[in-house]
Amino acid sequence: MSPVKALVLTGYGLNCDYETDYALKLAGAVSHRVHINELISDQGSNPHLDLSTFHILVFGGGFAWADDHGAGVVLASKIRFNIGEQVNRFIQDGKLVIGICNGFQSLVNLGLLPGFEENYQERRVALTYNDSGNFINTWVNLKINPKTPCIFTKDISHIELPVRHGEGKFYASTEDIKSLFENNQVVAQYANADGDRANGKWPENPNGSLEDIAGICDPTGRIFGLMPHPEAFNHFTNHPNWTEKKRILEKEGKSIKNQEGDGIRIFRNAVEYIRERYKA
């Protein structure tokens, strides 16, 4: 069985690379943190950094280029004008791309999302300033669209994850939002604790996203972007109410030692998809 290889971008102010790398490893991938400059300059010259040898490409969280000129804008242009071709081929090859928080912002600026009719060049949706006008770190409940083709959310109906951003308000034209729903490209929506949609209510919907949209995928379901951070729920103790939950588990005679967090499921889905597809 050859390994499922993941590449996590680093550098220029990106900052969730270690935990994203860790989450992918937990999920069974062989993951590498790779500096944007290495990826760009060594393409072709260094076989270890040849994008085509990887299966999962991760645009992680952070503040790439300080988020000046709009979150993800400069990273997107850096990628497009240096290795745009390689990234396109990666997608054409049927591989997986996930963008988390700043990475989601980069994917929409690259045009990889929403990728209507598999046009991966066009900026059609945006993540703009939170309605509150401020950065927020809070845990959200997400409702997952059961009909979405998204590879990453297979068999997940609800999940709790943290958000940490100042520019996470999902915005697009009414028609485009309609198309997103019609194509089941809306993957995750902010919800309340009961699992019902937040209907724009703060802080359940922490940023004012239209239609409570927290994450979307391309029509193939192989490119996924979301504002919440699955890699930050890599262990049971990441959950804000774990000390309370622990007592319930203990009553059932269960230990919480080495219990992974729900966020890992998203990465495991990706790894399993690749395994299945490439019989890796």
Identify which of residues 11 and 149 has a Cβ nearer to another protein in the complex. Answer: 11
Among 155, 175, 244, 276, binds another protein (CB under 8 A): 244
Identify which of residues 95 and 205 has a Cβ nearer to another protein in the complex. Answer: 205
Q: Is 238 in the site for another protein (CB under 8 A)?
A: yes
Q: Is 3 in the site for another protein (CB under 8 A)?
A: no
We find the least distance from the C-beta atom of residue 234 to another protein, in angstroms, to be 6
Cross-strand pairs, 140: 161
Q: Of 84-92, 150-158, 213-221, 236-244, which segment contacts another protein by CB under 8 A?
A: 236-244
The span from the CA of 78 to the CA of 95, in Å, is 21
Q: How many helices (H) and strands (E) does the chain have?
A: 7, 11
The span from the CA of 251 to the CA of 270, in Å, is 34
Q: Reply yes or no on whether 69 is catalytic.
A: no
Return the structure tokens found at 140.
């959200």
Residue 117 backbone class (left: φ over 0; alpha: ψ -120 to 50; beta: rest)? left
Return the structure tokens found at 112.
């990889």
Identify which of residues 95 and 207 has a Cβ nearer to another protein in the complex. Answer: 207
Return the structure tokens found at 251.
């009553």
Return the H-helix or E-strand segment holding 90.
Answer: helix 73-92
Q: Reply yes or no on whether 101 is catalytic.
A: yes
We find the least distance from the C-beta atom of residue 224 to another protein, in angstroms, to be 19
Q: Of 46-54, 61-69, 87-95, 145-153, which segment contacts another protein by CB under 8 A?
A: 61-69
